[in-house]
A = this chain, B = another copy of it.
Amino acid sequence: MPDPRFFTPSGPFTLARLAEIAGSTLRAGARRERRFVNIAALEDAGPDDVSFLENRRYVDAFARTRAGCCVVDARHAELAPVGAELLLTDKPYKAFALIAQAYYPEAAPKPGRHPSATVDPTAKVDPSARLDPGAVIGARAEIGPRVRIGANAVIGDGAVVGADTVIGAGAVLDYCLVGERVLIHPGVCIGNRGFGFAMDPAGHVRIPQVGRVIVEDDVEIGANSAIDRGAGGDTVIGRGTMIDNLVMIAHNVRIGRGCVVIAQVGISGSTKLGDFVQIAGQGGLAGHLTIGDGARIAAKAGVFQDVEPGGAVGGVPAVPIIQWHRQTAILGRLAKGKAVKTK
């Protein structure tokens, strides 16, 4: 049960309404008017809660759950405890996500401008936006409808923030155009001077970085991540891409749509990712690479070569994932004094 100090559920919702929200079907005889008040994990749920089964590993917990309602794939329906209502779907996790959003909607912020916020007279701030205490909006910046700028966040001169976007406390945005429904977490720095200079024994010579950062719609960027602006041209984060905490994205990187970039990943300058690429935690990519659509990069991998669409790589330097598993298996054998077969 979420702490009421922080979270208040909407609802309750009837079973019929939940089915609608989740795009799922009910069993014959379902009590369509039964009401549910909250969401919970299988082990914690009670008769008024909605839970879900996605991972086969939890079928036992499902069989024992006291949840009054469960989102579940039809092929597990028979395992359900007596009396539980079921919402049947082939994508239980997504369906549950939609239900969770219904109980805990991200409400538009209350419009307003805290008196301690600083807004340059040339900035355009939509009257429905909310500026929290200490927020700073630079010259000519544009803040769209229903945007929330968190406390002490700083929007630099000329930056643009699209409708319904949330900027976390203490985040700093410079030289960027940010789309709609974007979530920028606290402490994120966007638009920093990229790491560009001509090396010289007499003193490295900095090269002005005169590009931008483009953050497309529906992107999420995790806490304390850093995204540098282009040297010339843009650094781009494609629509719907999810970036975790403490991620580093260098100048002129271009990330496609729907990518997933886990915590502490680093992507070097000018590398291009296609759509729906996944990079697991602490992975690193060298510069000037091309990573194809749907490619997957294992945790802690160090990628120094292009990866083809749909490819999966791991290790340092990264190799196809199957080869990486073989390498670690062989090393394991050798370390135990076992022979390794060779041709």
| Minimal Cβ-Cβ distance residue in B for A326 | B335
Could you say how many copies of this chain the assembly holds? Answer: 3
B204 contacts A240, CB within 8 Å? yes
A334 contacts B323, CB within 8 Å? no
B334 contacts A342, CB within 8 Å? yes
A144 at the interface (CB under 8 A from B): no
A3 at the interface (CB under 8 A from B): yes
The size of the chain A interface, using a CB distance under 8 A, is 118
Which residue from B172, B218, B245, B266 sits with its C-beta under 8 Å from A226? B245
B198 contacts A3, CB within 8 Å? no
B327 contacts A299, CB within 8 Å? no
Chain B residue contacts of A328, Cβ below 8 A: 317
* Interface stretch (choices A11-19, A27-35, A80-88, A185-193): A185-193
Chain B residue contacts of A263, Cβ below 8 A: 195, 226, 248, 250, 266, 268
Which residue from B96, B98, B223, B281 sits with its C-beta under 8 Å from A268? B281
B101 contacts A206, CB within 8 Å? yes
Which residue from B7, B248, B326 sits with its C-beta under 8 Å from A210? B7
Given A6-B212, A172-B187, A281-B286, 19 more A-B residue pairs with CB atoms under 8 Å apart are: A5-B140, A6-B210, A91-B200, A94-B198, A100-B207, A118-B134, A132-B136, A136-B169, A150-B172, A151-B154, A151-B172, A152-B170, A170-B187, A183-B193, A185-B189, A264-B264, A268-B281, A299-B302, A327-B332
